[in-house]
């Protein structure tokens, strides 16, 4: 019988969004312990209260450390793991030079299995417990990711990347095969254990109108699925979309016209948006996924977090591995902070930590299951050592409250700051 665990430390939970509070820190509560049993969070409170709740539970002492929901990375390309941090190209050159040749290799199931395992090992070591990933055009690449996630008991979303033009030989499907293969994968994986399917047309430059229409029809038939794509990442990409879809009102319209705008839609990057696009995204409750290390690394631009939050957009946060330059959501928070600074709107530590957990979980429509250290939620937790290096420790030692204590870890922390990770109530 599972008698459970009580983790002792600074347990951080959110009661609301720190973007809607006058003082962002008022959105958070700190408690002394969290109780875990049968894969779920049984409660949070004082250690004595948790002991009363689970009298037989094993105590895990993390005094002085910060215990919070595991990080949720809402937009990644796991097949780009081995080409992360490739030097010096703009988006389209980067795709052609590094990403597409690497993605070609995923026709080989054994290679896909190797990279899926490597990717989940790396992200777990960085405190990430859920990801939403593009795979490659090969259905085997989806099987590899989901099988690896299933074996680890992880909540993971993903889907077969669909492309039927402007991609090399061997990396194109068709409108029909993309529909059929995606539908077979939905039947095989969606809702199995903790896995969710995301219909994944890569972006409008690599799909014909026929393929976008087929993806829209598939989503209409399977509204239980997420749909993920890319939107307005770089200005030359936007100009290319205009030339490929001369009748479209804007980039978003190339999706909207084919039924690919919806509440379970995830739009990666969303930097250079026009007013009409912002209105439509908000009206639908669609999710924008901010990928700050990618945006600086590929030179895409500065996401308008403050403006988009103020108008009520749903926003998640992501590494965009491997266009992003890190597997770490801590590093991603640092980049989000820096982009906020460059726009004159710095983010509070509470806002940053919320984005990496509840924000992304809300974007993925999983906020009732993951993304917060609260009773009833699935027990995906990360324990942060707030003094993981001498440089961080000496700054944290001066801190007057938890936000000041965690901020050096946000700005300078990496996998050394990850003291422990729990997935589905199991220590990993
Ligand atoms: N746009 C279309 N595909 C990609 C990709 O793989 N990475 C990034 N950063 N942008 C994209
Ligand atoms: Zn991407």
Domain-terminating residue out of 363, 382, 405:
363
DSSP per-residue string spanning 7-53: EEEEEEEESS-TTSSSSGGGGEEEEEEEEEETTEEEEEE-HHHHHHH
**Ligand 1 probe mutation, 99, 272, 290, most atoms within 8 A of CB:** 99
| Ligand 1 binding residues, C-beta < 6 A | 77, 91, 95, 99, 202-203, 230, 233, 294, 298, 320, 323
Ligand 1 atom with least separation from CA of 80: 6
CATH number at residue 418: 2.30.40.10
- The whole domain housing 45 covers 5-70+372-427
Domain-terminating residue out of 324, 341, 363:
363
What pLDDT was estimated at residue 1? 65
Residue carrying structure tokens 């990057």: 269
Tell me the pLDDT tens digit for each residue of 198-238: 999 999 999 999 999 999 999 999 999 999 999 999 999 99
- pTM value surpassing 0.95: yes
Dist. CA 18–CA 12, nearest whole Å: 13
Domain-terminating residue out of 363, 384, 399:
363
Are residues 311 and 244 located together in one domain of the fold? Answer: yes
Tell me the pLDDT tens digit for each residue of 8-33: 999 999 999 999 999 999 999 999 99
Are residues 398 and 354 located together in one domain of the fold? Answer: no
Q: How far is the CA of 76 from the centre of ligand 2 (A)?
A: 6
Are residues 269 and 386 located together in one domain of the fold? Answer: no
Bond into 322 cis (ω within 30)? yes
CATH number at residue 292: 3.20.20.140
Helix (H) and strand (E) counts for the chain?
A: 17, 16
Tell me the pLDDT tens digit for each residue of 251-281: 999 999 999 999 999 999 999 999 999 999 9
Are residues 351 and 391 located together in one domain of the fold? Answer: no
Are residues 90 and 144 located together in one domain of the fold? Answer: yes
Are residues 284 and 248 located together in one domain of the fold? Answer: yes
Count of domains observed in the chain: 2
């Amino acid at each position: 019988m599972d008698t459970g665990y009580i983790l002792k430390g600074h347990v951080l939970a959110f009661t609301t969004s720190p973007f809607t509070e006058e003082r962002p820190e008022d959105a958070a509560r700190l408690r002394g312990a969290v109780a875990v049993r049968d894969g779920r969070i049984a409660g949070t409170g004082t250690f004595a209260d948790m002991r009363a709740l689970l009298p037989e539970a094993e105590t895990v002492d993390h005094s002085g450390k910060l215990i919070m929901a595991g990080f949720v990375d809402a937009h990644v390309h796991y097949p780009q793991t081995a080409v992360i941090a490739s030097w010096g190209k703009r988006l389209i050159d980067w795709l052609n030079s590094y990403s597409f040749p690497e993605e070609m290799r995923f026709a080989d199931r054994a290679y896909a299995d190797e990279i899926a395992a490597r990717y989940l090992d790396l992200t777990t070591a960085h405190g990430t417990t859920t990801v939403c990933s593009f795979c490659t055009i090969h259905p085997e690449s989806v099987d590899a990711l989901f099988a690896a996630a299933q074996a680890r008991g992880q909540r993971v979303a993903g889907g077969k990347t669909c492309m039927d033009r402007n991609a090399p030989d061997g990396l194109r499907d068709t409108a029909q095969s993309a529909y059929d293969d995606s539908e077979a994968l939905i039947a095989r994986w969606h809702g199995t254990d903790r896995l969710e399917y995301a219909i994944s047309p890569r972006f409008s430059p690599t799909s014909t109108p026929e393929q976008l229409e087929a993806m829209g029809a598939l989503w209409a038939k399977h509204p239980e699925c997420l749909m993920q794509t890319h939107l307005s990442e770089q200005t030359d990409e936007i100009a290319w979309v205009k030339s490929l879809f001369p009748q479209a009102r804007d980039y978003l319209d190339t999706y909207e016209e084919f039924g690919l705008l919806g509440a379970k839609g995830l739009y990666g990057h969303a930097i250079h948006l026009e007013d009409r696009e912002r209105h439509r995204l908000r009206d639908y409750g669609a999710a924008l996924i901010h990928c700050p290390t990618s945006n600086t690394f590929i030179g895409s631009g500065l996401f308008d977090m403050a403006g988009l939050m103020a108008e009520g957009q749903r926003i998640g946060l992501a590494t965009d591995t491997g266009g992003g330059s890190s597997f770490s959501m801590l590093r991603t928070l640092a980049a989000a902070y820096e982009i906020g600074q460059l726009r004159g709107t710095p983010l509070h530590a509470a806002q940053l930590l919320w984005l990496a957990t509840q924000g992304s979980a809300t974007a993925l429509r999983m906020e009732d299951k993951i993304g917060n250290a609260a009773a009833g939620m699935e027990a995906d937790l990360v324990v942060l050592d707030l003094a993981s290096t001498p440089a961080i420790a000496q700054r944290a030692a001066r801190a007057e409250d938890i936000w000041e204590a965690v901020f050096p870890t946000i700005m300078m922390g990496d996998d050394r700051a990850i003291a422990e990770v729990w997935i589905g109530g199991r220590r990993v």
